[in-house]
Each structure stands twice: as C-alpha cells, then as structure tokens.
Amino acid sequence: MQLTSILPVLLSTLSLATAATQGAVPVFRSNNLDIGSSPGGVAWRFNVTALRTSYNATPCANPNIVAQLTPLGNPNFNLTVQQHWVKYVDSARQDFWQEGTAKVNESSTSFNIVPDTFYGVA
C-alpha cells in the first residue's frame, strides 16, 4: 500500500474512533409506536427523543434523524434509527452518523434503541 492510500484510511479510522465522543447520544427513547396496514403496505409512526448535546438536537421534526421499518415476519419488525450531525473544526467540516436497531411488533409502545454503529468523515 502506498503512502497516498494509507493517509485517507488513517484519517477515516480516526473519524470512526471519535464519532461516539463528538455528539453521539447514548440511547434513543421511543414511544407511541403505531404500526398498521394501508392500501400501499405497512404504515407506521413513532416519537423519538434523545439527550441534547452541543452538536445535536433531536426534536421529532429533525430532518437529520431518519428511520426505517423492515418486516421480519408478522408480527415482528426491525426499526432502525439513524442520526447525522456536522461539526466544524478550524473551518473543516466533519460529518458523523450513528445508527441503532430495535426489534418491535404491533404491540410495542415504548422502547429504547441503543446506537451500535458509528461512523464519520473528516
């Protein structure tokens, strides 16, 4: 591997190592999950909150938080939540993401999603 290849890999690795300390929340608290059928497939909604840090905010309408519901077989689903945030260091943009998944079903109401995947780009 050439030096020109090692440097980007090293910088990427450092970003991954620091993502959890640069604004990541320890847990997403979720409630009011509503899963139902619709003519177009499965319809769902829920509320998600997390502790506010100096680099993130997690109101329900935050476009930096996205979620996806994946069927596991009736009545179970995987609910994945991903958050993105940006930090600037000496005018250099750093992007971070974290993601967690919880197994839920139609009777789930309140649950926690613990982020287990962190990554970043500096």
Name the least confident of 28-37, 54-63, 64-73, 104-113.
54-63
Tens-digit pLDDT profile for residues 22-38: 566 678 888 888 887 77
Select the more confidently predicted residue: 42 or 9.
42
Share of the chain above pLDDT 70, in %: 69
User: Quick one: average pLDDT of 75-101?
Assistant: 90
Q: Residue 77 forms beta bridges with which residues?
A: 71, 104
Q: Total structural domains in the chain?
A: 1
Residue 61 is predicted with a pLDDT of 57
Name the least confident of 7-11, 57-61, 66-70.
7-11
User: Quick one: average pLDDT of 57-62?
Assistant: 52
Amino acid at 70: T
Amino acid at 1: M
Q: In whole angstroms, how large is the CA radius of gyration of the chain?
A: 17
Q: Is the pTM of this model over 0.75?
A: no
- Structural domain range at position 22: 3-121
Residue 15 CB partners (closer than 8 Å, separation 6+): 94, 96, 119, 120, 121, 122
Mean pLDDT score of the chain: 74
Residue 38 is predicted with a pLDDT of 72
